[in-house]
Structure 1
Amino acid sequence: MVNQMTDGEVRATMPARRHLWKLELYKLQLEAPTPKIIPCQKEIDRPVYFGSEYHGIISHKEAAVLFENEPNGSYLVRKGFDSNNFFTMSWCFNGEIHHFKLFYDGRYYVKDKRYETMHELIADGLVTRYIQSHAAHITELMHEKAAYQESPYVTLNRRKLRALSNKNKTMNASIEDLTNKNLTFVESCDFPQNTNARPPTMSTSDSVINNDTISNILIGKYTKEHSFKVHTFKGLNWCEFCANFLWGFTAQGMKCEDCGFIAHTKCSKLVPSHCMPDLKKLRGVFGIDLTTLLNAHSSTLPFVVKKCVKEIEARGMEQEGIYRISGFADEIEALKMALDRDGEAANLSEYSNINVIAGCLKLYLRLLPIPLLTDQLHQKLIDASYLKTLSDQISSFREILTDLPPAHYNTLQYMIQHLHRVSLQAHVNKMNAHNLCTVFVPTLMAIPPQSTDLTQEIHVLEIFVTNSAKIFGTS
């Protein structure tokens, strides 16, 4: 029999998820109404750039009749008067009908944004209006509360920023003294993934070193301004300044053409002049939405996961405490940089400590903006785990997982089958399914912030691992 992990070991392997990315606005976008055409049933002459949504010349009262019993998101296009030099787009939102002047010049627009299709215009407008009506408290404060030195941009790229700034910085003597004096403190900020480590307490004499000074130490005295341009992002993206979701489907925010910094329009005005064009060449795969990444690489699995799993299965399956024992933080960060810089060409065999590779794999999964098992599935999985028979639980899990995006499903399947193989060596590595799931629950699942007891989540994942063939099929 393999001993279960002690309470102390369980606590040590269950860190709270580092909330780099804030999901509230992303969740609201998923909840927003979707476009639904109210088709015109009459034969009328219509411009070639409109379809059945165009109803010709009708008044707002006639339009109101057409909206009866129609859901939120329903819309039509009409003309109020033949003499108008614009069309009218009418939609239903929150049970009320709203009218907007609509123009076409090769693309559709109501205000400044241009859209290739009416569907894109309506979908983008519905999301924006929904977020405005449900998250005004977030959108009003998110720029004010954000801090550059605590931003995802600096957090994910701290060591890269330092390495690049070291080539060009012209630090004065006082800053150099502060750097040497507080080397231990700065290094503790460099990679806060070891949950057992705690930053050393600064003495009273050190208290003069504020966040701005630390930021200067980390990124050097750089004064180049960013070259921000309005950008339409493909896939899901988050602001690298405030960590909130970039909502909408077109012109969602700004992107620096030189270094690749991504931000909301308002956030881009608060970003200091620390543009490092060389960083654009080093921007890698950590912290990027899985679906967006795989679409960009025309792949079904992230190469980081494949390379790390392959290396672990080649020389780490009998390593006692694999995935539970942490590797050295600086080596994990070095491997992260290598994977970001070299991609699939990165050489993992250079890292003799297999725990470093295991730690890097966990880090990659932990930094995903949307966890493999998404927030939308969390309660469904918990509810299914209470079904009376294992057969019913497995059947329900299979059905629930069909709601996962393909990128998430394929990667989850790959990881669960790997963990199953690791558990088969538990007599040597001391990591049975329960121990592995205790480690991986905070990494693979979206855990509600208020959760303190993950017993049921561990139970769900353990069913996945021990029954991987029945849930996913054979590997």
Structure 2
Amino acid sequence: MSNNEEENDSLTLSPVWKSYLYQLQQEAPTAIAIPCYSNQDDANKPHYFDNEYHGSIANQETQKLLQKDGHFLVRESGRNRGHHTLSLKFNGELKHYRLYFDGQFFVGEKKFDLLLDLVNDGLITMHLEIKAGDYIHLMCRAANYEQSPYFTLNERKRRTLSLGRNRPALVQPISDDIHYDKAHVFRIQNFKGLHWCDFCGNFMWGIVAQGVRCEDCGLSAHRKCSEKIPADCCPDLKLLRGVFGVDLTTLNKAHGSTRIPFLVDMCVKEIERRGLCSEGIYRVSGLRDDVEALRVTFDRDGDKTDLGPSSWEDINVIAGVLKLYFRLLPIPLIAFQVYPLMMTAAKEPDENRRSQRIKDAVQLLPPAHYNSLKYLIFHLHRVAENKEKNKMSSLNLSTVWCPTLFPGPDLQEINSTGSIPDFHLEATCLDVMIRQPLLIFSSV
């Protein structure tokens, strides 16, 4: 790969999402209701409570019942009959909150259909406040709009729309006296699935009301972050938002399917149709502007996008878009929880045991990630079978792909040792998968 190609690829595939808060949410205690088995009169129990309701019990008894972090119960308030207290254990301490119900459960501003969701949301919030309070306090103030995911992923879209309206193209720094002509219309949003802030790039934690979304363009952000976003709303953007930068599991849920994303399927089929013998496939980069143009086309036209040679003569452009799609996933294809297992497996000196441990790790991936990885690996295996013509062996392919499929250097934010991913071990894992896909993805 030439220096120009390496620079082009680096610019195209620069990461925009931050995983720190997502991983902390995964570590938060899980809510577990402590059931009441006493023979209390059920007629006195409010209809909206289940067996987590313990009636009138003292603090001392509550302390005995709540043994572990995440345990919770509901009891009648001792000083205010008819009112209820949510008691839960967190960080080794007992905490009590006045609990309200008006058709939904609430303690503060957020309201929940299920009490279990309320407690889980509270545990997540308290866990993040303890582990990352300073980080959360600074993340919005430290974010830069021109380097935000929203600006990065939608620069070409906004430029095209702006020129279409005789508006100034939003490709210059904010300080260059750009005049924005429409404010965003933000509303509190209950996001289904996993979402990241389009301003600071950080995970939007919690179960409900995780942030705000613009009704006109779909921009999503933390409430604090939304206060710093300039009035540059382009309503047409909601028609152009596509699959890039969307979590795989969330995308599958939205489409009601466990299939691989249509973009992956289309790109792989086109590359196998006319690129298997192309020298340096996946190593040689397509022109950055062409890759960006094809990305915008996918966002606009979806599965109607034409990938034929009459539209995209250079097969490396299609290969570049496929790599870009995986590079922009908020949760990498090799998900965070599986990554350490992969690195341990790669260190196994015995090849048979190494393959088995990699297979065991792959089985732990979320279904959406597993299915897409399986599809991609079998494709890369077919590419490697043509190495005499395309000069891309399994080892070459694994070296090119590992920075795209594994968690990137952003792990430094959460790794107490300050270490960065070992690309040699990552390449070893991918090489094993590409050489032995039938073994790695067999169900036996």
* Normalised TM-score (structure 1): 0.86
Distance 1:394 1:214 in 2: 55
Q: Which residue of 2 aligns with 1:249?
A: 207
Q: CA deviation at 1:83?
A: 4.3
Query: Contact 2:187–2:212 (CA<8 Å) still a contact in 1?
Result: yes
Match of 2:262 among 294, 303, 306: 303
Partner SS state of residue 130, structure 2: helix
Q: CA deviation at 1:451?
A: 2.6
Match of 1:451 among 391, 396, 420: 420
Gap change, CA 1:215 and 1:409, over 3 Å in 2: farther
Q: CA deviation at 1:392?
A: 1.4
Query: Contact 2:139–2:200 (CA<8 Å) still a contact in 1?
Result: yes
Q: CA deviation at 1:52?
A: 1.4
Q: Which residue of 2 aligns with 1:326?
A: 285
| Amino acid of the structure 1 residue aligned with 2:281 | I
What is the aligned length?
428
Distance 1:13 1:329 in 2: 6
Query: Contact 1:258–1:275 (CA<8 Å) still a contact in 2?
Result: yes
Query: Contact 2:217–2:238 (CA<8 Å) still a contact in 1?
Result: yes
Q: Which residue of 1 aligns with 2:174?
A: 212
Query: Contact 1:323–1:355 (CA<8 Å) still a contact in 2?
Result: yes
Partner SS state of residue 321, structure 1: coil
| Amino acid of the structure 2 residue aligned with 1:404 | L
Q: CA deviation at 1:12?
A: 7.0
Partner SS state of residue 388, structure 1: coil
Query: Contact 2:9–2:285 (CA<8 Å) still a contact in 1?
Result: no
Q: CA deviation at 1:213?
A: 4.1
Distance 1:141 1:167 in 2: 37
Q: Deviations over 1:273-327 (max 9, x none)?
A: 1111111111111111111112111232111100000000000000000000000
Q: Which residue of 2 aligns with 1:42?
A: 38
Q: Deviations over 1:249-275 (max 9, x none)?
A: 101000010111101011111111111
Partner SS state of residue 329, structure 2: coil
Q: Which residue of 1 aligns with 2:18?
A: 22
Are 2:300 and 1:341 equivalent residues in the alignment?
A: yes
Q: CA deviation at 1:66?
A: 1.5
Gap change, CA 1:12 and 1:276, over 3 Å in 2: closer
* Normalised TM-score (structure 2): 0.92
Q: CA deviation at 1:223?
A: 1.8
Report the aligned-residue RMSD.
2.2
Partner SS state of residue 348, structure 1: coil
Distance 1:167 1:422 in 2: 41
Distance 2:313 2:396 in 1: 24
Distance 1:97 1:145 in 2: 35
Task: Give runs of ≥4 in structure 1 deviating > 6 Å.
Answer: 8-14
Query: Contact 1:57–1:82 (CA<8 Å) still a contact in 2?
Result: no
Unaligned runs of 5+ in 2: 413-418
Q: CA deviation at 1:9?
A: 11
| Amino acid of the structure 1 residue aligned with 2:276 | M
Unaligned runs of 5+ in 1: 180-185, 187-209
Are 2:142 and 1:145 equivalent residues in the alignment?
A: yes
Query: Contact 2:8–2:288 (CA<8 Å) still a contact in 1?
Result: no
Partner SS state of residue 276, structure 1: coil
Distance 1:272 1:43 in 2: 60
Gap change, CA 1:277 and 1:145, over 3 Å in 2: same
Q: Which residue of 1 aligns with 2:123?
A: 126
Distance 2:277 2:234 in 1: 43
